[in-house]
Structure 1
Amino acid sequence: MLPQNQMQNYVESRLTSLHNLGSTAVSNSRDKFVAFFVGALVVFSLPYLHIGVFYRLIWVPDKPKIDRISCTCNCFDTVFRGSYENPGNIPYKHVYFNATWQTSRIWLFTVIFILLGYESIKYLIPLIRRNQIRSSMLFLYVVNLYPNYYSWWSYFSYYNEDFYTYFKHHMLFTVTEIVATCLVLNMCDIRNEIQSWKMIAISSINLMHILVSGMDQFITHVIQGRGTNFQNARDLGLMIPDFLHVIVPILCLLMYARGKDIRLNELCYKEEIMLSGVFVTLCTLLGRLM
């Protein structure tokens, strides 16, 4: 038989383990609930602010109201309505959608962007709650919400209107934007040590964005003053996050090097700088050709 003190120690250790396990489970449940709530709020709020506030109340407040009683639609294939309705003068509905491959692509992009947005928030919430967040990277994540949302809305519009002139051009931006966002999310965790290649990659991607868009619409619309108020606001909303994604990682590298009491050129490999230059040059040329 075990001595009494050993038995007591064993029981206490098991109770402590159960308590810690229970505390961890409760904490994880809270994180999941908060992440779900914040994720749902963000996903709901962005289209509402976009269409319900900015478009409806600011950009085009004088749009006439639709007469829901007399309004009809004769370009609705009614497939999703089954046998309840057939094509013709269909009465007003809040949402019409046709059973086409374009609609399936719209749904696909919508699901992908919602899942990516939710997963990123689910990753950040525990870091914020445990004070393990790197505030500079969280700031970059937040300011990049609009460019990522704008990408989804652009693909929605491309497929909805069968307008694909800028599709490939925008796809280059989207893919590189997602890569940069993933690196930013990784660096949001303060336990992940700052690495030069990650910071250089973030800056390089967004420098390429600046060069491509700067030679495209930004100069014409904003600098030369040929754009509408909406175009200027949109271009600034896309350009400012790019500038911040170039500047903030460099500042983080400088502060990290200062904290380690080393020079910046000792922190960054020469090959990283060369690859950055090659990437920016090639992708800028590719972006101009697409």
Structure 2
Amino acid sequence: MSFIARCFRLMRRYAKYLVKDEGRKAGEPAGMQDYMERQLTELHYVAVNNEFPSKFIAFALTVLLAILLPYLHIGVLYMKLWAPDKPQIDRWGCTCSCFDTIFRGGYENPGMVTYKHVFFLIVTGGYENPGMVTYKHVYFNSTSSTLKIWIFTALFLLLFYESLRYLVFLVRSGAPLRRSMLLLYFVNLYPHYYSWWSFFSYYNEELYTYFNHHFVFTVTELIVTAIILSLCNRDNPVASWKIATIFTISLVHVIVSGMDQFIFHVLKGQGHSFQNVRDVGLMIPDLLHLLIPLRVFYQQAQRQKLRFIEMCYKEEIILMFVFISIGTILGRLI
């Protein structure tokens, strides 16, 4: 019996305790106990039919990871490794002169001097730009770039939730799992998070030098993750085209990212600590996506008593070489 089912059972018992049935004659309207029994039973079946437990667990995991990843990113990697000596900001004397204040409505205006700034002027006797407003932990300007940031954030969170909901459903339904593919899904969380953060930075700073390059990486990463989610269920066959797609995309990622930054930063030792952590964190998932699917495919070939090469079509092998070559060239050009 699931946790939710136990909760409904306890609620029905509590209803019986609160409203004791004194017995009623035929034709009498139903009492409060009968009404609560029917409502709780109906609620129970609605929750079960709508996979409420799976959705709740997936929602909780999404919230937990969505909180944890930015904390590790900003609070640990950036604050402790990249820039540990940043000076404290002056909340009383900060400018915020680029803030359009639209989302503040009529409470503040770009040319508005607030009581905090008046106090600051009295105490310091200094000159202050009249466009400054009070300190904000978070402020945003009402622009098309802000809307694009919100769209990307919403899409990434929804895709993240749906993928977790699918995995939770597999686990709760007792479906046979491929643990190796489940491992690949979780290993790939950091590259997906890094992609979201990169698009956030591109739109926020309006620096689009590597936008097309990263957009292609992100789309291909999503394709790989979709196939990995399918292979997490053992009932779905390990088709050769799925393994070929994962291998092709991952090999292109390894070649292109290795030629871009990994060799220079990590292998040659020319990168800072945060760059090395980032590059290793992006390279390891791609390497695992090369090795683990091949191992799974090889094990299937052994079970079917076939040679590895006999598991693939000749056309698939030719297309792999073609797409690896094209992907590597395009990855270097865009």
- Give TM-score, length-normalised by structure 2: 0.78
**In structure 2, how many angstroms separate the alpha carbons of the residues matched to 1:48 and 1:198?**
34
Q: Which moved more, 1:176-185 or 1:130-139?
A: 130-139
**In structure 2, how many angstroms separate the alpha carbons of the residues matched to 1:44 and 1:115?**
15
Counterpart position of 1:169: 213
Counterpart position of 1:40: 63
Counterpart position of 2:25: none
**In structure 1, how many angstroms separate the alpha carbons of the residues matched to 2:271 and 2:298?**
37
Q: Number of matched residues? A: 272
Q: CA deviation at 1:104?
A: 1.0
Q: Following superposition of structure 1 onto structure 2, how do residues 113-152 of structure 1 map, counting pairs within 5 Å?
A: 113-129=156-172, 130-152=174-196
**In structure 1, how many angstroms separate the alpha carbons of the residues matched to 2:52 and 2:204?**
39
CA contact (8 A) 1:146 1:237 kept: yes
**In structure 2, how many angstroms separate the alpha carbons of the residues matched to 1:70 and 1:228?**
33
After superposition, the C-alpha distances for 1:178-237 in whole angstroms (9 at most, x for unaligned) are 101111111111111111110111011010001111111111111221111111111111
User: Secondary structure at 1:288's aligned position in 2?
Assistant: helix
Counterpart position of 1:285: 329
Aligned-pair identity in percent equals 54
1:103 aligns with 2:132: no
Q: CA deviation at 1:22?
A: 4.2
User: Secondary structure at 2:230's aligned position in 1?
Assistant: helix
1:231 aligns with 2:275: yes
Alignment root-mean-square deviation, CA: 1.9
User: Secondary structure at 1:91's aligned position in 2?
Assistant: coil
Counterpart position of 2:238: 194
**In structure 2, how many angstroms separate the alpha carbons of the residues matched to 1:278 and 1:224?**
30
CA contact (8 A) 1:173 1:209 kept: yes
The verdict on how the C-alpha distance between 1:108 and 1:27 changes in structure 2, with shifts beyond 3 A counting, is closer
Counterpart position of 1:86: 109
User: Secondary structure at 2:177's aligned position in 1?
Assistant: coil
1:250 aligns with 2:294: yes
- Give TM-score, length-normalised by structure 1: 0.89
Q: CA deviation at 1:62?
A: 2.2
**Greater C-alpha Rg:** 2
Q: Which moved more, 1:190-199 or 1:56-65?
A: 56-65
**In structure 2, how many angstroms separate the alpha carbons of the residues matched to 1:115 and 1:22?**
26
User: Secondary structure at 1:132's aligned position in 2?
Assistant: coil
**In structure 2, how many angstroms separate the alpha carbons of the residues matched to 1:23 and 1:157?**
43
Q: CA deviation at 1:31?
A: 1.0
CA contact (8 A) 2:78 2:274 kept: no
Q: CA deviation at 1:24?
A: 8.4
Structure 2 residue identity aligned to 1:169:
H
Unaligned ranges ≥5, structure 1: 1-17
Q: CA deviation at 1:132?
A: 2.7
CA contact (8 A) 1:200 1:249 kept: no
Unaligned ranges ≥5, structure 2: 1-40, 111-130
TM superposition outliers: structure 1 runs of 4+ over 3 Å: 21-24
After superposition, the C-alpha distances for 1:57-113 in whole angstroms (9 at most, x for unaligned) are 333222222232332311101111112111111110111111111111111111111
CA contact (8 A) 2:81 2:273 kept: no
**In structure 2, how many angstroms separate the alpha carbons of the residues matched to 1:162 and 1:138?**
36
More helix by share: 1
Structure 2 residue identity aligned to 1:138:
L
**In structure 2, how many angstroms separate the alpha carbons of the residues matched to 1:203 and 1:195?**
13
**In structure 2, how many angstroms separate the alpha carbons of the residues matched to 1:167 and 1:82?**
33
After superposition, the C-alpha distances for 1:14-64 in whole angstroms (9 at most, x for unaligned) are xxxx99x94981792211111111111111211111112222233322222
Counterpart position of 1:10: none
CA contact (8 A) 1:180 1:205 kept: yes
